[in-house]
Amino acid sequence: MKILHTSDWHLGRTLHKVDLHEHQAAFLDWLVALVQEEQVDVVVIPGDVYDRAVPAVTSVKLLDSALARLAGTGATVVLTSGNHDSPERLGFGRSLMRPGIHLLTDVPGIEHPVSVSDEHGEVLFFGLPYLEPDRARTELVGEEEAPLARSHEAVTRAALDRVRERAATRPQARTVVLAHTFVTGGEGSDSERDLSVGGVDSVPAGVLGGIDYLALGHLHGCQDLTATVGAPAWYSGSPLAFSFSERHHRKAVLMVELGAPGTPAEVRRIAAPVPRPLTELRGTLEQILARQDDHGGDWLKAIVTDPARPAHLQEQLREAYPHLLLTEYAPEGREAREGTPVVRREQNPLEVMDEFLAHVTGAAPTAAEHAVLDRAYTAVRRQQEAS
């Protein structure tokens, strides 16, 4: 059986105020074509389909179109909700979904797998939506034990106990579990929402063993946790980068070949399309501008280190790098956390302004700059005297 694993689409997300809708639409076009070309049997999507609980209409339409086209390829689609999704909204109308589309977004759904068969028999797809401990513990462990089950480990362990109990009734079937969680040993990035509950945000890998393939969602870097979990377990990661901490990620989807019972799953990374690279450049303004030929088309974070803040810094960077997203001024040779100048009651206001300008730019005001401040101060004084 050929399974395509993709996750964390975050439809509706922006990248430092840049709307990613067109790039997300391009990824989904590519994904549908890949599913068709590879003749994929099942597409699994373990959560964070949307970026927020109440998604924009454009995001809802984009998902609707993607699911319709994926169903049109003949593939079965199994989708769970993540910590960014509203399980109720994402799962609305699931009983009315077209054949082949399965939205597993609630706790009762854990015990009702999607069954897909191939020449080797049955494969059971179990969906674990994001299990927020305070919401899920009563349903999963019962009233008596619920007060003790206030952790991601406790609710995930209880959910997987149900999965294994159900799978035991069909011992010849292979099992695939979709889970949206942070597994201990996974490598995070700046763009994931913290899952901490009481200071604990991860699930020990040992909880997750004994499954033919574990399709993980939540972490945005594509990574293999098979050695940690003791069974085939992967994060597909997000298809697009959502922070500069992801600039070195190799964004991908995973093609999983599930063979006969007892044979390990084979996993192949397929690189996802990159709309434009993310680049971080550090140096003086002159050094950064000199690299325009190599990075002029990139999404850029510029860290400018000139001892004195260059004039028209943003304008010069923007002219060379039209996709500039972030600028940091980190002058070398100056204290990283210098305090703002102390204003003394007896000080001349012009001296205060000169000191503040020197604090901001790292250099004493020029004669021209001082003249501008002088004219502005004089104009304000005259206005006050006139009133």
Rounded alpha-carbon distances, angstroms, from residue 332 to 55, 65, 283, 286, 308: 43, 51, 9, 14, 9
Q: How many other β-carbons are positioned within 10 Å of the β-carbon of residue 291?
A: 16
- Nearest C-alpha neighbor of 341 from the set 313, 366, 361: 361
Q: What pLDDT does residue 342 have?
A: 72
Q: Which fold has domain 2-271?
A: Purple Acid Phosphatase; chain A, domain 2 (3.60.21)
Cα distance between residue 77 and residue 102, in whole Å: 6
List, for residues 86-130, the tens digit of each pLDDT value: 888 887 766 656 789 999 998 888 989 999 999 999 999 999 999
Where are the chain's structural domains?
Answer: 2-271, 278-386
Cα distance between residue 215 and residue 230, in whole Å: 14
Q: pLDDT 10s per residue in the chain (387 long)? A: 999 999 999 999 999 999 999 999 999 999 999 999 999 999 999 999 999 999 999 999 999 999 999 999 999 999 999 999 988 888 776 665 678 999 999 888 898 999 999 999 999 999 999 988 877 777 787 655 555 556 788 888 889 999 999 999 999 999 999 999 989 888 888 888 776 544 446 888 888 888 999 999 999 999 999 999 999 999 999 999 999 999 999 999 999 999 999 999 999 999 999 999 999 999 999 999 999 999 999 999 999 999 988 999 999 999 999 999 999 999 987 654 556 667 676 678 888 888 887 777 777 888 888 888 888 888 888 888 887
Q: What pLDDT does residue 351 have?
A: 82
Q: What pLDDT does residue 379 have?
A: 85
| Secondary structure (3-state) at 357 | helix
Q: What pLDDT does residue 335 have?
A: 59
Q: What pLDDT does residue 339 have?
A: 60
- Nearest C-alpha neighbor of 311 from the set 367, 372, 371, 362: 362
pTM (two decimals): 0.84
Cα distance between residue 120 and residue 261, in whole Å: 7
Q: What pLDDT does residue 198 have?
A: 45
Q: What pLDDT does residue 95 have?
A: 60
List, for residues 338-373, the tens digit of each pLDDT value: 566 676 766 788 888 888 877 777 778 888 888 888
Both tokens of residue 327? Answer: 């600028």
Rounded alpha-carbon distances, angstroms, from residue 387 to 39, 72, 143: 80, 75, 72
Residues in CB range of 306: below 8 A, 6 or more apart: 284, 285, 331, 362
Q: What pLDDT does residue 200 have?
A: 46
Both tokens of residue 293? Answer: 């030929």
Q: What pLDDT does residue 344 have?
A: 72
